[in-house]
Amino acid sequence: MRNVLITGGAGFIGANFVRYLLQAEPGVQVINLDMLTYAGSRENLMDLPNPGNHQFVQGNICDRSLVERLFEVFQIDTVVHFAAESHVDRSIIDPEPFIETNVRGTFVLLEAARKAWLSRAGLANSQSEQAVRFHHVSTDEVFGMLEPGDPPFSEISPYAPNSPYAATKAASDHLVRVYGHTYGLPYTITNCSNNYGPYQFPEKLIPLMISTALEGRPLPMYGDGQQVRDWLFVEDHCQAIWTVLHKGDPGNTYTVGGGNQLPNLEVVRTLCEILDECRPESPYLPHEQLITFVADRPGHDRRYAMDSTYIDRELGWKPEHTLASGLLKTVEWYLEHPEWVDTIRRGVDYQGWLAMNYGERGGI
Ligand code: NAD
Ligand code: TYD
């Protein structure tokens, strides 16, 4: 791993990973390709460690000539592919950008990697399988939904996506696997559960609830709030990806979970308790009183959970954070960075999004 192309590195998980990698690998050059959609921001890349090893390129992963040029100019040997449209609610309102970025964008990257790394006979220039790697970051949502007593998803779970977002991520997983099987591209895939932590755009559950509670506005709980997610602190996720890059076997998929499976209502109540402690002077105590049940998401998956046994046994990775420790760090980070939240919200049509997604649900 010398010249690493990170796609979507100005988004939530990508920016955390850029930070992680620059710190963990001072010898690595990071080329960060991001289109800066509403979800990406240069604000997420302030004060990077070893900034001289980071080069930002604003561009679209669907731009084939740009992507090919980056492979050539920077002699890319590793891709870590985060760039995606990532919000389920947006995919329900307008699926098209999901098809374009998540499916076509992944295809363009795979083609560029094939051209740069492979000849018709397989790996070009007598490269070993370990010399190049295409790592694809995917989601538990490709496996669909679990019933209450079902065992968690694992590497052998069948694909059964339920939202436009999940379907496009499933398609991208299949494409990556096909480039390995048909062309011999050395790849790895991680399918992980819901992430949370610093730099998450405040439309996703946890940062939305923190920023909305601090303003004393209603906390919109979809349906009965009993949907279960398996919460993974973003630093643990970064460590899992780094571990797979170093120790994972090409051609393998790893499922990555946080080991924290709780209903949304319980997560938000815990968050409110942490806010009560961190902000005892708040006029909105207890913040839990702000929880408001609103109309459910269409096709809302009831439960996700991930089995991390394989990555633990084979590669020695397990999450270090409990939900309590991860949520505390997250709340502290948002309280310490009010200017980040303001800048991010001002940079996009955030109020427009709230009106569109929550207006018909009764507003927030
Ligand atoms: P995000 O929405 O915060 O960031 C996505 C980034 O990709 C943004 O910076 C955006 O500008 C960039 N981008 C979007 N379209 C692009 C394009 N066409 N070309 C270049 N850049 C583009 O997403 P995230 O939460 O950081 O998720 C990162 C990856 O992890 C995604 O692939 C997502 O499917 C996966 N994932 C996320 C979660 C989660 O809980 N957030 C869980 C499982 C998997
Ligand atoms: P989200 O953060 O959008 O992630 P995902 O849909 O990928 O799991 O949502 C997490 C859970 O929180 C999901 O069950 C939907 C629920 N939710 C709410 O109840 N209210 C909200 O305002 C949002 C954004 C999500």
Q: Where are the domains of the chain?
A: 3-199+232-259+299-321
Q: Which ligand 2 atom sits nearest the alpha carbon of residue 227?
A: 14
- What residues flank ligand 1, with Cβ below 6 Å? 7-8, 10-14, 33-37, 39-40, 60-62, 82-86, 101, 105, 137, 139, 169, 192, 194-195, 201
Structure tokens given for 136: 């694809």
**Which of 85, 200, 264 is the pocket-test mutation for ligand 2 (most atoms within 8 Å of CB)?**
264
- Span 110-168, pLDDT tens digits: 999 999 999 766 776 656 777 999 999 999 999 999 999 999 999 999 999 999 999 99
Averaged pLDDT for residues 64-69: 98
Structure tokens given for 237: 């996720």
CA distances from 363 to 38, 279, 285 (A): 21, 25, 21
- Span 234-287, pLDDT tens digits: 999 999 999 999 999 999 999 999 999 999 999 999 999 999 999 999 999 999
Burial class (CB in 10 A: 0-12, 13-18, 19+), 78: buried
Asked whether 107 and 182 are in contact (CB, 8 A), the reply is no
212 lines ligand 2 (CB under 6 A): no
Specify the CATH class of 3-199+232-259+299-321 in words: alpha beta
CB atoms under 10 Å from CB of 42, counted, come to 14
The whole-model pTM stands at 0.97
> Cα separation of 202 and 211, whole Å?
7
> Cα separation of 112 and 31, whole Å?
15
- Span 75-119, pLDDT tens digits: 999 999 999 999 999 999 999 999 999 999 999 999 999 999 997
If we measure between CA atoms, which residue out of 39, 42, 35, 81 comes closest to residue 204? Answer: 39
248 lines ligand 2 (CB under 6 A): no
- Span 321-332, pLDDT tens digits: 999 999 999 999
Structure tokens given for 265: 């209502």
Asked whether 107 and 32 are in contact (CB, 8 A), the reply is no
